[in-house]
Amino acid sequence: MSRLNYHHLYYFWCVAAEGKLTRVAESLHLSQSALSSQIRKLEERMGKPLFERRNRTLVLTEAGQQVFNYAEVIFTKGEELESLINRGIEPEYQHIRIGTLASMSRNFIEGFIAPLLQGEGPRVRFSLYARGMADLLDGLARHEFDLVLANTQLPPSGSPQAAWQSQLLARQPLSIIGPPDANPDAPFPQGYEGLRWVLPGEHHELRRAFDGHCSRHQYRPEVLAEADDMAMLRLLARDSGALSVLPEVVVKDELRQGRLTSFERLPNVFENFYAITLPREFMPGVVAELLAHPLKDLA
């Protein structure tokens, strides 16, 4: 049975983590040529290139990222084992990496990770990364994330190696939100004539739902501002004096403080929140627990 050379793997791990061959060679007291030779032997063993050069910088290939993820676990566990044997320090932390759609509600994200902040069960370190959907799915395929949170429909997977799995975590009704003194004197649309609006951008799913609602009632809103980012839309709704259309979770603090009021909900219109994962042989226990107890209805 052939064995993996862990010296080669360790040298690769150091270079992948540092990103500079020169610095790693100096720290390991090796020549650059000797270090490069060790990494080439690992690539020959794996049968795939693990690095590619871009503007004099070493960048991991897809296979290299997968090897790095395993090497990270192997050598981190080795350091934990050494601590346990030499100093009696038992590691108790799990580290998970969560990608989030940059434009989605921070309040929802905070609610999702709340169990990780409560200090019950195994201790956890987690990292959050806010990106666009394409970058999130690419990172998931490269095993950079344990899961991805999004509030948009998942595009079809382009390859069998990236067979996305999407789980509905929660849904939130879409509400008309505004300052208490706006006080529409009649239901939509009669009570909203002459009022200004701050709305999601015209290509946003929530905006399309609101536009459809307006069209059915032959109402044309006077739009003051648009924003795709939920954090920005929250600020505009809070400070502009205009009405907005938002899931209540986005402005839950302002609603609780009385700075904003929810006047009415749009019928049969919801924002959905999803967890996106890839099939994995070893799902981190903390991730499995989070997905086993989704938030359901946020209303």
Is the CATH number 3.40.190.10 carried by domain 93-170+274-297?
Answer: yes
Q: Give me the residue spans of the domains in the chain.
A: 6-87, 93-170+274-297, 173-268
Predicted TM-score (pTM) of the model is: 0.63
Span 87-114, pLDDT tens digits: 655 455 677 889 999 888 888 888 888 8
Span 264-276, pLDDT tens digits: 998 888 888 899 9
**C-beta pairs of 23-31 under 8 Å, 24+ apart in sequence:** none
* pLDDT over threshold 60, residue 122: no
Quote the CA–CA distance of 134 and 152 in Å, as a whole number.
12
Span 169-220, pLDDT tens digits: 888 889 999 999 988 889 899 999 999 999 999 888 889 889 999 999 999 9
More confident residue, 133 or 86: 133
Q: What is the pLDDT of residue 297?
A: 47
Phi, psi of 52 (to 5 degrees): -135, 150
Which amino acid, one-letter code, is at 251? V
- Return the CATH number of the domain spanning residue range 173-268: 3.40.190.290
Q: Is 268 helix (H, G, I), strand (E, B) or coil?
A: strand
CATH class of residue range 6-87:
mainly alpha
* Beta strands in the chain, from DSSP E residues, in sequence order: 51-54, 57-60, 93-101, 123-131, 147-150, 165-178, 196-199, 222-226, 243-247, 261-277, 296-297
> Among candidates 127, 140, 129, 126, which has minimal Cα distance to 102?
129
> Among candidates 160, 170, 182, which has minimal Cα distance to 244?
182
| Residue 287 CB partners (closer than 8 Å, separation 6+) | 96, 146, 147, 277
**DSSP secondary structure, 79-128, as one string:** HHHHHHHHH-----EEEEEEEEETTS-HHHHHHHHHHHHS--SSEEEEEE
Overall residue count recorded for the chain in this entry? 299
Cβ neighbours, 10 Å, residue 153: 9
Is the fold of 93-170+274-297 the same as that of 173-268? yes
> Among candidates 247, 183, 239, 169, which has minimal Cα distance to 209?
247
Q: Is 267 helix (H, G, I), strand (E, B) or coil?
A: strand
Strand 51-54 relative to strand 57-60: parallel, antiparallel, unpaired? Answer: antiparallel
* pLDDT over threshold 80, residue 283: no
